[in-house]
């Protein structure tokens, strides 16, 4: 791969660095756009004037610096809160809004509706035009469920900033929304919103979403069971609202969740089907090249719009666009350069795409296929022709999995061992279904009786695919969970994969040494982390809403004290922090009662006292008995108030002498405020879990 063949890759690198730096620093540069304009003018003048060859590096350095600055300014200015007419500037205390639904509502425990604000009104004053995004949380009612893209709504609610995660190592929903330019949310009850009129928004998206609703209606007729319909709609349209939690877990633990999120594989299958049909059109020779290209592009981009134009679909569609245009112009370009140009154009359109997980996984998967599949193919044995197809599917799957491996470990902390086996199932089954679903839609419109037979066959294809995926999930050792690596360890893994592959391709032993050194850095990082975890003695009181959830970490082991919290909710709250603390096995359950305390090597729990290592704590969840005047208060590290006990802090101080008062999230708001006021008056340190997040305490060794 010559550097002259990949100009867009070389342009992309400083642009990526600028975007990453801008997101990390997030400080606008005064005169940044002026500097960009002057820099562009200087580069143009430099390029048209003849310069000495020995100063060629100066132009490259100047261009790289200009791209870095462009990336920095683009991502910093992308934040909608810096707009002069943002509602946080115009109406900071607004309680009434008018806006347009700017995306398809997301169904969940609550209906999430993204609203593009057009006007706002404060309690005193009239309507003021403004802009910005507001995420509405609505209860599921007949009126809420009828909200569609393009509806103009009135809303009566107060906008609140999106809160950071309350528990350590939990999913950062505020960061997730930030990179979608949403920073405020509102919880709206039934009766506090209403429809003004419909039909606003982009007509192209209106048409695309209308097509998707019609296709979903067709799929419901031919796939009567929930799981098969959910997979059918996810494979064809990227619609995952109806996937059950059990089915999501199955596809995630087999490394096949990408199959249910429309991606480059689906676009490739659509391209193959369209190409098979279009090449049979009897064009005149002079129109064939551009006629084929235009029809293929029309089909690919229609599919991209109907599936929601996610970053992975945009990447694949744009790559095919560049490939087809180059083919029509009789130009052959490096696949690496097409990949770099695609990333550059998408990030130029929206620099926040860089932080989208689908965007990242899509590009590293394609990079893995481009870089590793030819290497695997070179060292593959000679196989019969009938085995070559399945063998290629395996090699491509392994290459893509290696490309995504560091990111998968960093984000998901697990590795599906049988991904290669599941890959055969989802690729072959998905191809049969996707091509068959296209025929099903056509036959449904033209020959409904024949469509019944096709639908029956596709239903059993998906039923068999789901059954096979569940069987793979339950194979011994199907998934390795709890793998926790840092961001720089993920970068070292990519360096190791890249240099290892390059050393095999070019037979360079020195590059193999670089790959081994990068792996050694990952091993040292993991060793240092594990040594620290061997001596940890830490207590965590989680923010679990109305529930009680406390973990005691003692070395690589953990004890968990909880109430009737569901297993799914406990996993969402505490599993990531347990993995980051080196705890892979399920924690030991603490069943503490007054008549039978819980005892272990360094933990003793008998309410109201908890002895953890050499630290004593008090947990109060019910009214206290009268204090014995002859006994002084017991010195404790912390007083933890839980389950809304009818006590005052002064009453507790007759029994305990704490260094800090911890108010759990399960207490009522009014009682929490009263306790905080008492602590402030008594000059006691206080930690409110509801407001400040989980309380972490390192016990005395």
Contacts 24+ apart (CB under 8 A), 228-232: 228/459, 228/462, 228/463, 228/466, 231/260, 231/462, 231/465, 231/466, 232/433, 232/437, 232/458, 232/462
Each residue's pLDDT tens digit, 112-163: 999 999 999 998 888 999 999 999 999 988 888 889 999 999 999 999 999 9
Residue 538 predicted with pLDDT over 90: yes
**160 in helix, strand or coil?**
strand
Lowest mean pLDDT among 15-24, 309-318, 672-681: 309-318
pLDDT for the residue numbered 52: 64
Band (350; pLDDT cuts 50, 70, 90): very high
Q: What was the pLDDT predicted at 397? A: 85
Please report, rounded to a whole number, the percentage of residues in the chain having pLDDT higher than 70. 97
Give the mean model confidence (pLDDT) for residues 259-282.
78
Using an 8 Å Cβ cutoff, are 555 and 533 in contact? yes
| pLDDT for res 449 | 87
Which of 120-129, 324-333, 484-493 shows the lowest per-residue confidence on average (mean pLDDT)? 324-333
Asked if residue 50 has pLDDT above 70, the reply is: no
Supply the mean pLDDT for the chain: 88
DSSP state of 577: H
Q: Span 609-616, mean pLDDT?
A: 92
Comparing 132-141, 256-265, 316-325, the range with the smallest average pLDDT is: 256-265
pLDDT at 615 over 90: yes
Predicted confidence band at 694 (pLDDT cuts at 50, 70, 90)? very high
Q: Please count the other Cβ atoms lying within 10 Å of the Cβ belonging to residue 360.
A: 18
Beta bridge partners of 661: 639, 686
In this structure, what token pair is assigned to residue 259?
A: 């199959």
What average pLDDT score do residues 287-311 get?
82
Length of the chain: 701
Residues in a beta bridge with 135? 114, 185
Strands 557-562 and 588-589: parallel
Q: What is the pLDDT of residue 248?
A: 87
Quote the pLDDT of residue 180.
92
pLDDT of residue 160: 94
Average pLDDT estimate for 637-644:
92
Q: Yes or no: say if 484 and 580 are a contact pair by the CB < 8 Å rule.
A: yes
Most confident among 164-173, 301-310, 619-628 (mean pLDDT) = 164-173
pLDDT at 53 over 70: no
Handedness of CA 17, 22, 24, 27 (dihedral sign): positive
pLDDT of residue 108: 78
- What DSSP element (H or E) covers 116? strand 111-122
For the stretch 64-116, pLDDT in tens is 999 999 999 999 999 999 989 999 999 989 999 999 999 888 887 889 999 99
Is the pLDDT reported for residue 47 higher than 80? Answer: no
The 8-class DSSP code of residue 242 comes to T
Provide the pLDDT for residue 699: 87
Q: Is 31 exposed, middle or buried (0-12, 13-18, 19+ CB in 10 A)?
A: exposed
Q: Which residues pair with 612 in a beta bridge?
A: 603, 615
Query: What are 408-463's pLDDT values in tens digits?
Result: 999 989 888 888 888 888 888 888 888 888 889 888 888 888 989 999 999 999 99
Q: Is the separation of the CB atoms in 675 and 649 below 8 Å?
A: yes
Q: Are 540 and 553 in contact (CB under 8 A)?
A: yes
Q: What is the reported pLDDT for 285?
A: 66
pLDDT at position 1: 60
pTM of the model: 0.89
Least reliable range by pLDDT among 44-48, 557-561, 599-603 = 44-48
pLDDT of residue 284: 61
Q: Is the pLDDT of residue 164 over 80?
A: yes
Per-residue confidence band for 594, with pLDDT thresholds at 50, 70 and 90: low
Least-confidence region, from 315-319, 376-380, 432-436, 538-542: 315-319
Residue 288 has pLDDT above 80, yes or no: no
Mean predicted confidence (pLDDT) in 215-231: 90
pLDDT band at 176 (very low <50, low <70, confident <90, very high): very high
Q: What is the pLDDT of residue 240?
A: 82
Tracing tokens 């009135």 back to the chain, one arrives at 154
Q: What stretch of H or E contains 584?
A: none
């Amino acid at each position: 791969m010559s550097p002259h063949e990949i100009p867009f890759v070389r342009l992309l690198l400083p642009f990526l660095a600028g975007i990453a730096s801008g997101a990390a620093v997030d400080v606008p540069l005064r005169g940044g756009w002026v500097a960009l304009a002057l820099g562009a003018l200087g580069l143009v003048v430099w390029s048209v004037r003849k310069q000495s060859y020995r100063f060629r590096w100066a132009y490259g350095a100047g261009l790289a610096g200009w791209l870095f600055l462009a990336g920095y300014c683009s991502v910093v200015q992308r934040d909608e809160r810096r707009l002069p007419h943002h509602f946080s500037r115009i109406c900071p205390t607004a309680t009434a809004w008018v806006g347009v639904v700017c995306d398809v509502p997301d169904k969940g425990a609550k209906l999430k509706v993204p609203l593009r604000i057009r006007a706002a009104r404060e309690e005193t004053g009239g309507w003021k035009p403004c802009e910005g995004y507001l995420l509405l949380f609505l209860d599921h009612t007949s009126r809420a469920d009828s909200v569609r893209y393009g509806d103009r709504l009135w809303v009566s609610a107060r906008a609140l900033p999106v809160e950071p995660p309350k528990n350590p190592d939990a999913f950062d929903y505020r960061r997730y929304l930030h990179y979608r330019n949403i920073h405020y949310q509102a919880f709206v009850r039934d009766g506090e919103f209403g429809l003004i009129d419909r039909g606003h928004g982009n007509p192209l998206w209106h048409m695309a979403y209308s097509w998707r609703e019609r296709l979903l209606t067709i799929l419901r007729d031919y796939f009567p069971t929930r799981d098969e319909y959910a997979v059918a709609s996810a494979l064809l349209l990227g619609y995952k609202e109806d996937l059950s939690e059990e089915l999501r877990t199955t596809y995630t633990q087999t490394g096949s969740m990408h199959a249910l999120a429309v991606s480059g594989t689906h676009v490739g299958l659509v391209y193959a089907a369209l190409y098979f049909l279009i090449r049979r059109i009897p064009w005149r020779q002079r129109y064939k090249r551009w006629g084929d290209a235009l029809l293929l592009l029309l089909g690919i981009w229609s599919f991209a719009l109907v599936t929601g134009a996610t970053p992975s679909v945009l990447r694949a569609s744009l790559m095919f666009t560049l490939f087809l245009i180059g083919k029509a112009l009789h130009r052959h370009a490096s696949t690496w350069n097409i990949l770099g140009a695609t990333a550059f154009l998408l990030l130029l359109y929206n620099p926040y795409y860089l932080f989208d997980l689908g965007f990242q996984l899509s590009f590293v998967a394609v990079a893995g296929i481009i870089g590793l599949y030819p290497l695997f193919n070179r060292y593959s044995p000679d196989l019969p022709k009938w085995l070559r197809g399945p063998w290629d599917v395996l090699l491509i799957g392994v290459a893509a999995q290696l490309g995504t491996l560091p990111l998968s470990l960093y984000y998901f902390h697990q590795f599906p061992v049988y991904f290669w086996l599941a890959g055969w199932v989802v690729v072959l089954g998905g191809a049969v279904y996707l091509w068959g679903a296209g025929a099903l839609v056509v036959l449904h419109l033209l020959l409904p009786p024949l469509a019944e037979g096709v639908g029956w066959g596709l239903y059993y294809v998906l039923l068999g695919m789901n059954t096979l995926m569940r069987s793979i999930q339950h194979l011994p050792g199907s998934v390795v969970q709890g793998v926790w690596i840092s961001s720089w360890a993920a970068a070292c893994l990519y360096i190791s994969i890249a240099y290892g592959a390059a050393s095999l391709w070019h037979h360079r032993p020195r590059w193999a040494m670089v790959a081994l050194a990068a792996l050694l850095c990952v091993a040292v990082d993991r060793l240092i982390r594990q040594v620290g975890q061997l001596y940890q003695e830490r207590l965590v009181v989680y923010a679990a809403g109305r529930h009680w959830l406390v973990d005691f970490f003692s070395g690589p082991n953990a004890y968990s004290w909880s109430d009737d919290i569901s297993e799914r909710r406990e996993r969402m709250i505490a599993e990531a922090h347990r993995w980051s603390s080196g705890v892979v096995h399920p924690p030991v359950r603490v069943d503490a009662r007054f008549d039978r305390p819980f005892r272990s090597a360094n933990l003793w729990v008998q309410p109201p006292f908890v002895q953890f290592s050499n630290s004593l704590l008090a947990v109060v969840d019910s009214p206290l008995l009268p204090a014995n005047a002859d006994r002084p208060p017991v010195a404790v590290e912390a007083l933890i108030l839980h389950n809304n006990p009818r006590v005052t802090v002064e009453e507790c101080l007759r029994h305990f002498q704490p260094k800090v008062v911890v108010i759990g999230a399960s207490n009522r708001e009014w009682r929490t405020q009263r306790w905080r006021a008492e602590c402030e008056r008594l000059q006691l340190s206080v930690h409110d879990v509801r407001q400040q997040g989980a309380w972490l305490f390192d016990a005395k060794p």
